[in-house]
Amino acid sequence: MTKLSVNINKVATLRNARGGNVPDVVKFALDCERYGAEGITVHPRPDERHIRYKDVYDLKPLISTEFNIEGNPIPRFVELVKEIKPAQVTLVPDAENVLTSNAGWDTVKNQTFLREIVAEFKACGIRVSIFIDPEPQMIEMAAQTGTDRVELYTEAYARQYRDAPAKAIAPYVVAATVARECGLGLNAGHDLSLENLQYFHQQIPWLDEVSIGHAIISDALYLGIEETIHRYLHCLR
């Protein structure tokens, strides 16, 4: 069964726009779990423009589903993850000034670094996933790092889906097959939505997890968060 992990960054963005604690990020995460979400994802960036490092500490003792912390493994991030010990850490190579994650790892050029950081997290009992483009070589080299999973960067799929769904999914099916042949677990995320999620899952039913934030929060403005989560879960069933 493919798990739905809700990325709550956008809730923190809304809170930070006014100061104070409305909406309450921790309460929102717990409500997502209560409505059926099987994981909570956060992505603390160095400028803390949405999720703050303090939020991660506040969430840790209360999350009862899988807690996934994603981000660029700079020293401060590494220290945070090793202290929190979430179920999963997702390594994302985003620069400090990007609006959102926009590329996967080059696992050839960064092989030595990734091997070291994967080993460091796994020694703490943390499952590791590497954010990656749907390129077979990059997935094969990701396997060489010792990572447990890869997360397919799905922005390109989402961009092409409406006009050419079969063309959009094709490289992802190849990538997912390579990951399975390499013995890797498989996650996916970025711009997945109610429009395109079900088809993606139908074509790659062995997905372990999808991590979705922006679309879920946007849909919740119209549907409410409980109904939104139920609809996303329906796409995965």
Say which of 38, 50, 70, 135 is annotated catalytic. 70
Cα 71 from chain centroid?
Answer: 9
- 10 Å CB burial of residue 18 (0-12, 13-18, 19+) is exposed
Q: Report the sign of the C-alpha dihedral through residues 111, 87, 80, 98, in that order.
A: positive
38, 50, 135, 190: the catalytic one is 190
> What is the 3-state composition of the chain as percent helix, strand, coil, each rounded to the nearest 5?
45, 15, 40
Beta-bridge mates of residue 88? 68, 127
Residue 70 a catalytic site member: yes
Q: Exposure pattern of 140-170 as b/e (b: 16+ CB <10 Å)?
A: bbbbebebbbbbbbbbbbbebbeeeeeebbe
Which listed residue (38, 43, 135, 201) is catalytic?
A: 43
φ, ψ of residue 85 to 5 degrees: the values are: 55, 65
Hey, which residues are catalytic here? 43, 70, 190
